[in-house]
Amino acid sequence: MNTGLLVLNIAIMLLLIGGLFYMQRKHISFSKRVFTALALGILFGFALQLIYGPGAEIIAKSADWFNLVGGGYVKFLQMIVMPLVFISILGAFTKLKLTNNIGKISVLILGLLVGTTAVAAAVGIATAVGFDLEAVQISGGDAETARGEQLEETYQGIEGRTFPQQMLDLLPANPFLDFTGARPTSTISVVIFAAFLGIAYLGVRRKSPEQAELFAKIVDAFYAIIMRVVTLILRLTPYGVLAIMTKTVAMSDFDSILNLGKFVIASYVALAIMFLIHLLLLTLSGLNPITYMKKAFPVLTFAFTSRTSAGALPLNIKTQKSLGVPEGIANFAGSFGLSIGQNGCAGIYPAMLAVMIAPTVGINPLSPEFIFTVILIVAISSFGVAGVGGGATFAAILVLSALDLPIALAGLLISVEPLIDMGRTAVNVSGSMTSGILTSRITGEIDGNLYSDMNEKIEAEA
């Protein structure tokens, strides 16, 4: 490997980072800087592949250095996710306006998340059938075989567990362990733990108002500090997007993508349809979908490039607030959306796999009974899906195992998994924000003027 070329690639990345910093100093809007970073990352990644060739060692070495910026940014976001989820839910209970109808708000958010996931499953089924996708059409090599074996091993860890047992896993037996993110269901467990503390706060407020007031002030102080940390991290977003996108494009196996092009196209058609359904729901509720798209662009861009719904949580909450959603509802929708009802990962993807794999065991994927069963199982299994890379795989294992379909066949898609996961994550985040906006609209708590105010957009300095 030529060290000089490595140094040159790193120098170009630093030059691009310097350009983004110059844009920030000139007070160019956050959205424009994120979009510029996305475009520069794609162009630089393609240039690296064109110059050095796919799979070149120099690309892998360069990407390793680029990952100091991209991977570091994602780790900073993941660092703050659990504290933010915890304090966001707890803080929602200390805000009087929200606590007056906390039950209604929770039911609406959960209903919208699970309901849209059921719709997403139907979209996935229709798309797979429309594109005539079948697992037998895909040939696998050593990597696909190894991936299939890995999925089988993962399945053995949950094999035989009934639905009630899986629901029991959502409960926080040790909340301090869940704060480390040790389990796939850790996020929802932290949400439940925070909700218990919030309910306890409501009881204390009725009996000992002075102690409750002190507790609320402490929570507010912690929330202010954590949100300040979030703001500091969000300032790094354009640089993180640039590095992540460059690495993703530079290391993509375009030959494999072309071989599985039909599945990739079908997946993105399904994801696009689901996103349009989000916009349709907003339109039917009397809100301008174009305004939503403009304000949601930064967070959807980050979700697309980083492939982590959890990492996108800070931007998610800030975006909802810029759209007129009350802080408490934004906290609930963003936090619940990390582990419940992910439209892309837990809805579209498992449903498409089920339709593709069913014919290999003699099941007619077009039978009404099978379609209804898939949609029902997908909706139920959407509880507890992790909001980080790999959540879709966990969801797929749950759905395929519940349908008694072979797990290993899902490993045939390993080569295009990162590319598809980008779109899935963006749709996950959009679904989460849509549930918060619609809940605010239904309860009459949304600020319509703030929603329409294009001056109120996400800025890293905010």
Output the pLDDT for position 325. Answer: 92
Q: Measured between alpha carbons, how far is 189 from 195 in angstroms, rounded to an integer?
A: 10
- Dump pLDDT digits (tens) for 327-381: 888 888 888 887 787 888 888 988 888 888 888 888 888 888 999 998 988 888 7
Are 77 and 233 spatial neighbours (Cβ–Cβ below 8 Å)?
yes
Output the pLDDT for position 436. Answer: 94
- Dump pLDDT digits (tens) for 195-243: 889 889 988 988 888 898 899 899 989 988 988 888 888 788 889 889 9
Q: Which residues lie across from 217 on neighbouring strands?
A: none
What is the percent of the chain where pLDDT is above 90?
A: 22
Q: Measured between alpha carbons, how far is 385 from 363 in angstroms, rounded to an integer?
A: 27
- What confidence tier does 153 reach under pLDDT thresholds 50, 70, 90? low
Q: Report the SS3 class of residue 110.
A: helix
Max CA separation in the chain (angstroms): 72
- Let me know if 72 is exposed, middle or buried by CB neighbors in 10 A (0-12, 13-18, 19+): middle
What is the percent of the chain where pLDDT is above 70?
A: 83
Measured over the CA atoms of residue 114, residue 119, residue 120 and residue 122, the dihedral's sign is positive
Distances (CA, A) of 217 to 84, 155, 212, 227: 17, 45, 9, 15
What is the mean predicted confidence (pLDDT) over 293-312?
Answer: 83
In the chain, domain spans: 3-452
Share in percent of the chain as helix, strand, coil (round to 5): 80, 0, 20
Backbone torsions φ then ψ of 340, nearest 5 degrees: -130, 130
Measured over the CA atoms of residue 393, residue 128, residue 428 and residue 121, the dihedral's sign is negative
Output the pLDDT for position 75. Answer: 86
Q: Measured between alpha carbons, how far is 268 from 264 in angstroms, rounded to an integer?
A: 6
The pair of three-digit structure tokens given for residue 23, joined into one six-digit string = 């844009």
Output the pLDDT for position 459. Answer: 52
pTM: 0.78
Output the pLDDT for position 362. Answer: 84
Q: Which of 112-121, 300-309, 396-405, 416-425 has the lowest mean pLDDT?
A: 396-405
- What confidence tier does 136 reach under pLDDT thresholds 50, 70, 90? low
Listed residue (246, 235, 303, 310) closest to 85, CA to CA: 310
Q: Quick check: 16 pLDDT over 90?
A: yes
- What confidence tier does 389 reach under pLDDT thresholds 50, 70, 90? very low
Are 292 and 268 spatial neighbours (Cβ–Cβ below 8 Å)?
no
Find which of 89-103, 299-313, 388-402, 432-446 is predicted with most confidence, using mean pLDDT.
432-446
- Dump pLDDT digits (tens) for 83-96: 888 888 888 788 75
What is the mean predicted confidence (pLDDT) over 458-462?
Answer: 47
Output the pLDDT for position 11. Answer: 92
With a CB cutoff of 8 Å and minimum separation 6, the contacts of 303 are 309, 312, 425, 426, 428, 429
Q: Quick check: 156 pLDDT over 80?
A: no
With a CB cutoff of 8 Å and minimum separation 6, the contacts of 63 are 246, 247, 250, 251
Are 201 and 94 spatial neighbours (Cβ–Cβ below 8 Å)?
yes
What is the mean predicted confidence (pLDDT) over 291-295?
Answer: 92
Better-scored residue on pLDDT, 383 or 273: 273
Output the pLDDT for position 17. Answer: 93
Q: Measured between alpha carbons, how far is 221 from 273 in angstroms, rounded to an integer?
A: 42
Output the pLDDT for position 460. Answer: 43
CA atoms lying within 13 Å on the CB side of residue 403: 36
Mean pLDDT for all residues in the chain:
82
Output the pLDDT for position 119. Answer: 94
- What confidence tier does 384 reach under pLDDT thresholds 50, 70, 90? low
Q: Quick check: 160 pLDDT over 70?
A: no
Q: Report the SS3 class of residue 220.
A: helix
- Dump pLDDT digits (tens) for 445-455: 898 888 887 77
Which runs of consecutive H residues, i.e. helices, occur in 408-461? Answer: 417-443, 448-452
Query: 3-452 maps to which CATH number?
Result: 1.10.3860.10
